[in-house]
Amino acid sequence: MSKFLDNHPIALRALILYDIEKARTADRSYSNLCKMIGGNAISEDFDELYGKVIKGKGKILENAPNLRLCILSDVMDKKSIIESFLSITKMIGTQDIDYHDFEFWYNRFSSGNWDLDQKTFYDLPIDIVAKIVEELDIESQMKLRKVSRGLQNIVFQVESSVESISYRFYSSLWMEDYSIVYSEKCKDFSGSRQYANSASATIPFFLKNPKLRLMSFEWNNYSEPRANNGLIELLNSLNHPLEIINLKMIHMTKNAMIALLKAIKPGTLEEIDVLADPGQKTVVDEFVLMNQWKQAKKVTIDRICIDFPRYFDNFHHFEEFNISVESITLKDLLNMKMADL
């Protein structure tokens, strides 16, 4: 309580003035104060202060926090909120005070919380702040992380509500188009070109959260190699694996596809969907060596023609696969059938 008086020394004078308006003596006013903040809470001579208060009325009432002791006094006297509001505005000589602020303090004191100091967001325990951040939508979280490093750390520690992310870039002689589309548990958001121009900040925001759990992730980059290079750098900088169930890699460079598949936690990936240029067929040599590939359940590879006999052992563990093959024999089919037995 005394900290409040240290921060708002005029509040005591406002209370005395209010007691004068209610025809309270100095002794009764002091007794009332001691009930609120405890005895020996002030170092000034109360009787002398009581006698001087009326001279500084204007200065006393110009700051809303100075009225908190008056509100608490009315709560102790069991005044209704309307009676208290009318009494205090009568003392001030105007009703030009913030009623919402007045109502907040009246209800707070009425609940039994007589703490006169107003807590700020930064006074809240970390776990409470984390729960608040967790309830925010992604756009709000992205804004909040820019406020301070501490809040940024909290944003990256809470469970993400994002379920799917799709990055797409298309460029031609006539047009150039970006889009970032993500869905949350409670809503969908489709980013416009203006929003997607900040992809260098948006994609890292998503992927740097170690609690991100994605149903699907799509990277569709038709003709912008710089975006692929940026993705590789980002993936190499992560200190945690990504958890993705369905992965789509469309028109990516070979190195970008390898980096993305490697970045995923083995066992979480169930479906791999690849659309690549025919000249990138050697990427399959890299895929089949990875645990991410070996533990997936379904794969689709489009535009790359597979030498099936060569890769036979790397496909028969899938529940389903869709591929184009250079050739396939009856013996290959029989071997596949036997592998399933």
148-to-113, 151, 331 alpha-carbon distances in Å: 31, 5, 64
* pLDDT cut 90: percent of the chain above it: 23
Q: Are 223 and 198 in contact (CB under 8 A)?
A: no
Residue 270 pLDDT > 50: yes
CA pair distance 219, 250, nearest whole angstrom: 6
Q: What is the pLDDT of residues 24-55, one digit of tens each?
A: 766 777 777 777 776 665 656 666 665 666 55
Does pTM top 0.85 for this prediction?
A: no
Q: What is the pLDDT of residues 201-218, one digit of tens each?
A: 678 888 988 889 999 999
Q: What is the pLDDT of residues 48-94, one digit of tens each?
A: 665 666 555 545 555 567 788 888 888 988 999 999 888 888 877 66
Residue 169 pLDDT > 90: no
6-to-109, 195, 263, 269 alpha-carbon distances in Å: 20, 48, 55, 59
Which DSSP letter does residue 222 get? S
47-to-11, 42, 139, 169, 182 alpha-carbon distances in Å: 16, 12, 57, 77, 67
- Mean model confidence pLDDT for the chain: 79
